[in-house]
Amino acid sequence: MGTERGRGPAETARSDRENLRADLRRLMMETGLRPTELARRAGLSPSTLTKFLAASGPGHVLSTRTLSRIARATGRRPSPEPLAPGGDVGAVLADPPRPGAADVPVLGHARGGRDGLFFDNGIVESYVPRPHVLTSVRDAFAVRMSSDSQEPAFRHGDLLYVNPNLPPKPGDDVVIELADGAAYIKRLLRRTPETLAVRQFNPPRNLSFRAGDIARVHTVVAVVKART
C-alpha cells in the first residue's frame, strides 16, 4: 500500500536531478562550453558544475539562483523534463542541504488555499533533519500541513515526516497522493478494492476516494509541531 503505482515524490526528485544533468550536458554540447567555462561565464565557482555533473546524491543539486545565472549566460535555462503544467523550472530543485543530517526533502506545496498539497514533478521546498524513525529509509520525505482540516491532530504549518515504504493501517495518518498530483492528509479508516475511507477532523466528516483515482498512500510516522 505504501508504494503503489509509478514513482513516489522522492524518486521523482532524484529522476529530475538526472534529467537536469542530461539537459545541462546537451546545453554545453550546443554551446561548445566546458563546465568550468560555462561556470565562469555565469559568475559561478569553476567547480559548481563539475561537482554537480559528477555526483548523484541528494546533497548535489543546483539552486534556483544558479539556474538563473546559467540562463542569463546562455539564453537558455536547463530544465528537468518533463515539467508539470504551469511549473517553474527554477523551483524544481531547492538549495542543497547543509552538511549533517538535514537530508530529508520537504515535498509538495499548497496551491490556491485549497485543502491539499500538490506534488508537482517532485518540487523540493527545503531539507530538514532526519528523525530516528527514518534512519534507514532512503525514500523518506516530509510535507507541511497546508490547512486546518486535521486540527487538533495537525495544525496548519506542522511538519509531517513520511515513510513511503510502510504500509498504512486503519488509524494511521496518511498522505493520499492522487493520480493528478494532488495530495491530502487524512486519518485512514478502512480500505477496500474500490474505495479508501478517511476521517477529516475540521469540520468533522468522513470522506472517501475512489481507488482508481489514487496513485499512492503514504504513512505519516512523525510530526514536528509548528510554533505559534
- CATH superfamily, domain 11-81, is lambda repressor-like DNA-binding domains (1.10.260.40)
Own/partner long-range contacts of 212-216 (Cβ < 8 Å, ≥24 apart): 213/178, 213/179, 213/180, 214/4, 214/176, 214/177, 214/178, 214/179, 215/4, 215/5, 215/6, 215/177, 215/178, 215/179, 216/2, 216/3, 216/4, 216/5, 216/6, 216/8, 216/164, 216/177
What is the band of 17 on the pLDDT scale with cuts at 50, 70, 90? confident
Which residues belong to CATH 2.10.109.10 in the chain? 94-224
Check if the beta carbon of residue 83 is closer than 8 Å to that of residue 121.
yes
Please, how many CA atoms are within 13 Å of residue 131, restricted to the half-sphere of its CB?
14
Residue 160, C-beta contacts closer than 8 angstroms, at least 6 positions apart:
142, 143, 144, 145, 154, 173, 175, 185, 220, 222, 223
Chain centroid to CA 22: 20
Start and end residues for every CATH 1.10.260.40 domain found in the chain: 11-81
The grid coordinates listed for 165 are 515504504
Return the pLDDT at 228. Answer: 58
Residue-wise pLDDT for 107-164, tens only, equals: 887 665 467 788 765 667 788 898 889 988 888 999 999 888 999 999 988 999 999 9
* Cβ–Cβ under 8 Å, residues 119 and 108: yes
- The predicted model scores a pTM of 0.58
Three-class secondary structure of residue 68 per DSSP: helix
Superfamily name with CATH number, domain 94-224: Umud Fragment, subunit A (2.10.109.10)
Residue pLDDT, tens place only, 21-47: 888 888 888 788 888 888 888 888 877
